[in-house]
Structure 1
Amino acid sequence: MDASNRCLNLQPFLVLADISRHLRPAVLPALADIRSSFSPTQPINQRAAGIVAGVTLLCTAAVTPAHAEGSYDTYISNWYVSNESRHWTDRNSDGAWTGVYFEGCSTNGAFNHAGLMLRKAVDWQPDPSKGSRTNYCGWVDWNDPDDAGEYYFVLESLSSGSRLWVNKVTIGF
């Protein structure tokens, strides 16, 4: 086997390794299964078809929230910094991550990203932060807060502009 064929045989593994850096940890075992199913002796068209199918499946799984306890869809219209989402109750009956998915984002500037903070609502006290994330019009998560209670997110910042619109928002918990 000449050097060019050896490099060609490594390409599926390099592509999958690069993609794995951007996936949620729950998706990584599936990636390992796909990697192990390829043999360097398979014809290149079979490997290519397998890689395309595997990457499509993994990319879909990586951006689709998979929450057992609950989720809801909504939208954002004309929000400014410090606006709060609707509150939801996470009973912490599972190990699912809490996350927010944005699709169709715009501002009255040029949208690049929005800063979000997850807060837990606490009666008669300041609401503690569970951390901040930057949403580039996709999925962000706070792992599992491991704490039952009422939650919401706050718009902390915008990359440009002063108002935010998001066509579809999915909150999963």
Structure 2
Amino acid sequence: MAAVATGAVAIGVLGIAPAFAEGGFGSSISGWLPGKDSRSWKDNNSDSVSTSVKFAGCSVDNGRFTYAGLQLKKARPGLPDTVVNRDDNYCDTSSFGDKAGGTYYFHYSNLNGQDSVSAYLSVDTVTVRY
């Protein structure tokens, strides 16, 4: 009887699908120029959570931070990686939608719309969810 009750509780708990991200990680950025890539992550697409990159505490050493141009890229072994989404991150959250399974990373493509700058980007907290 106890095994049946335990099984029913497990089914009840596991049967409710909370909106958890499959994975994620936290990091920071220190001294990046446009052209730099984040670390990569493997999305198994085992949920329907939007892939997102959240910045908090953004600054540059020379000039003014308005936004960082980000590209979400999908790695393709033996082929050039493909840009699947773009967003201007105003030190907030860039949401890229639910992505197919694969290996992804974000590419820092520009600062305030300029891809050739001598200002180094720093971000206190970077949170990636997928």
TM-score scaled by structure 1? 0.59
Q: Partner residue of 2:126?
A: 169
Question: What does residue 30 of structure 2 align with?
Answer: 77
What is the CA RMSD across the aligned residues, in angstroms? 1.3
Question: Whole-Å Cα distance in 1 between the matches of residues 105 and 21 of structure 2?
Answer: 18
What pairs with 1:126-165 in structure 2 (closer than 5 Å)?
126-145=80-99, 147-159=100-112, 162-165=119-122
d(CA) in 2 for partners of 1:71, 1:128: 21
Take 1:163 and 1:117, find their aligned partners in 2: how far apart are those partners?
18
Q: Who is 1:125 aligned against? A: 79
Give the drift of 1:128. 0.8
Which amino acid in structure 2 is aligned with residue 138 of structure 1? D
- Please identify the structure whose Cα radius of gyration is greater: 1
Q: Which amino acid in structure 1 is aligned with residue 87 of structure 2?
A: R
Structure with the higher strand share, 1 or 2? 2
What are structure 2's unaligned runs of at least 5 residues? Answer: 1-18
Q: Which residue, out of 90, 94, 99, partners 2:43?
A: 90
CA distance in 2 between partners of 1:92 and 1:74 (Å): 22
Specify whether residues 157 and 67 from structure 1 end up closer, same or farther in structure 2 by C-alpha distance, changes over 3 A only.
Answer: farther
Q: Which protein, 1 or 2, shows the higher relative CO under an 8 Å CA cutoff with sep ≥ 6?
A: 2
Which structure shows the bigger proportion of residues in helix conformation? 1
State the identity %.
40
Shift in Å, 1:67: 4.2
Over 3 Å counting, the alpha-carbon distance change for 1:130 and 1:99 in structure 2 is same
Q: Is the 8 A contact 1:67 1:97 kept in 2?
A: no
Size of the aligned set, in residue pairs, is 107
Q: TM-score, normalised by structure 2?
A: 0.78
Report how far residue 163 of structure 1 moved.
Answer: 1.4
TM superposition shift of 1:68: 2.2
Unaligned runs of 5+ in 1: 1-65
